[in-house]
Structure 1
Amino acid sequence: MSKHIIITGTSRGIGFEMVKLFANQGHKVLALSRNSQPILDLKLDNVSSFSFDLSNEDDYKKVETFVQNEWKHIDILINNAGMLLNKPFAETTILDFTKVYQTNVFGVAEMTRIALPFMKSNGHIVTISSMGGIQGSIKFPGLAAYSSSKGAVITLTELLAEEYKETGPQFNVLALGAVQTEMLEEAFPGYEAPTTALEMAEYISEFALKSNKFYNGKVLQVSNSTP
């Protein structure tokens, strides 16, 4: 059965791979990223894409209009977009923190708020977090803004699951360990992760399609290594 799926952060890495996977399975995808060109270049019939910036209020209206006109409902939202900052804390300004939280926390909250009116009781909102956001996990210097923002969306997910538990949809969060992406290379130059972007995309896409039958308000640690 074909689903209507919105994914943020689709210009590269895991998000890019997920778009291709869902499209090949016959689902309809709205791929959102500041750079829409990589997805447009794929020329996939059941994929729509336009430039979207999580920090731009007007862009959310574009999503609303698209869903109202084209789809009428959303089955799955995957909050995958993330901004990474690797900088010593003493040099991390309030502007740096604001930029990271704008994408990683406020953007997730607003995207979710926009999607909710279009979702049914069995809809699924999956937010991608990081092992760095898990209390008690190994932490790395320079990631104060990034990892704390990833902790915030874990708590946000738990709260939303509670608030909507009577009506749905379901909310879950995946805290990813090291995956071989451009973002990992920026954070840990030269580090080779044991998991490829495609392998993780396969896991997340399967989770998004089926796991809200079994989980709600849960954080799953998807990691076999540190970082």
Structure 2
Amino acid sequence: MKNVIITGTSRGIGLQLARIFAEAGHRVLALSRNARPVMEWDHPNITSFSFDLSVKDDLEKLTDFISGKWKGKADILINNAGKLVNKPFAEITPEEFEEVYQVNVFGVAEMIRRVLPFMPGEGHVVNISSMGGVQGSVKFPGLAAYSSSKGAVITLTELLAEEYKETGPSFNVLALGAVQTEMLEEAFPGYQAPLSASEMASYIFDFALKGNTYYNGKLLQVSNSTP
């Protein structure tokens, strides 16, 4: 039984990840600004509370929970939360650009910083990025803030793996292609992806549990399609 923290669990892949881990017998802390979808399941293996990556009090609540309820141990952290703005570059305000980076980059970094003291050497941090953040991949107009922030997450993952390679935990990043989620609909209205949120969640579940046996500091492109 692992202690697993997942962000962005109000919908899509994050919501399905919480379900899969809990049904497999693991303890799950599901974090999202909207905790209701997870709380409505009332699953005995899931704890959820409203959580904003940019709010200091919420981050303190996170560390208090790990040190108290979980007796100071977190085995897996999946940074799945993401924010998307789909606008032409000239129309994106500085505030909107900053909001995307606050969730997708600064929030990821702060989650890791908070959880690291509780992770064993064999722990695993899995950051969820996007094919749009991979250097040399196909890019799409309107996603300047989102895709560039996901590129930053990839580099951050590589740097942290290097910094902690002697002690652990392991750090890996998954660049996802098209998955049928609400966020995909926001980015590409009307597009039908070949994979469902539950299918991708199943892959991430297996990778979070076993991937650090084979990889550390690696970017894996998990995509059979990009729009």
Structure 1 residue runs of 4 or more that deviate by more than 3 Å after TM superposition: none
Aligned equivalents of 2:226 and 2:202: distance in 1? 21
Indicate whether 1:205 and 2:199 are aligned: no
Structure 2: which amino acid aligns with 1:94? P
1:63-74 alignment, distance < 5 Å: 63-71=62-70, 72-74=72-74
Aligned equivalents of 2:226 and 2:9: distance in 1? 24
Aligned-residue CA RMSD (Å): 0.5
Secondary structure in structure 1 of the residue aligned to 2:10: coil
Identity over the aligned pairs, expressed in percent? 70
Aligned equivalents of 1:58 and 1:135: distance in 2? 36
Which residue number corresponds to residue 45 of structure 1?
44
Structure 1 residue 156: deviation in Å?
0.1
Structure 1 residue 190: deviation in Å?
0.4
Which residue number corresponds to residue 16 of structure 2?
17
Which residue number corresponds to residue 180 of structure 1?
180
Secondary structure in structure 2 of the residue aligned to 1:30: strand
Indicate whether 1:215 and 2:226 are aligned: no
Aligned equivalents of 2:186 and 2:90: distance in 1? 20
- Cα shift readout 1:15-49 (whole Å, capped 9, x = no counterpart): 00010100000000000000000000000001000
Aligned equivalents of 2:225 and 2:65: distance in 1? 39
Which residue number corresponds to residue 165 of structure 1?
165
Aligned equivalents of 2:130 and 2:29: distance in 1? 24
Structure 1: which amino acid aligns with 2:122? N
Secondary structure in structure 1 of the residue aligned to 2:122: strand
Structure 1 residue 58: deviation in Å?
1.5
**Please, what TM-score do these two structures have when normalized by structure 2?**
0.99
Structure 1 residue 217: deviation in Å?
0.2
Secondary structure in structure 2 of the residue aligned to 1:82: coil
Structure 2: 5+ residue runs without aligned partners?
A: none
Aligned equivalents of 1:93 and 1:155: distance in 2? 25
Indicate whether 1:196 and 2:202 are aligned: no
Secondary structure in structure 2 of the residue aligned to 1:165: coil
Indicate whether 1:7 and 2:28 are aligned: no
Structure 1 residue 143: deviation in Å?
0.2
- Cα shift readout 1:112-168 (whole Å, capped 9, x = no counterpart): 000000000000000000000000000000000000000000000000000000000
Structure 2: which amino acid aligns with 1:110? E
Which residue number corresponds to residue 121 of structure 2?
121
Aligned equivalents of 1:34 and 1:91: distance in 2? 26
Which residue number corresponds to residue 54 of structure 1?
53
Indicate whether 1:107 and 2:79 are aligned: no
Which residue number corresponds to residue 31 of structure 2?
32
Which residue number corresponds to residue 140 of structure 1?
140
Which residue number corresponds to residue 83 of structure 2?
83
Structure 1: which amino acid aligns with 2:179? V
- Cα shift readout 1:142-197 (whole Å, capped 9, x = no counterpart): 00000000000000000000000000000000000000001101111100000000
Aligned equivalents of 2:185 and 2:171: distance in 1? 29
**Please, what TM-score do these two structures have when normalized by structure 1?**
0.99
Aligned equivalents of 1:121 and 1:74: distance in 2? 11
Structure 1: 5+ residue runs without aligned partners?
A: none
Secondary structure in structure 2 of the residue aligned to 1:78: strand
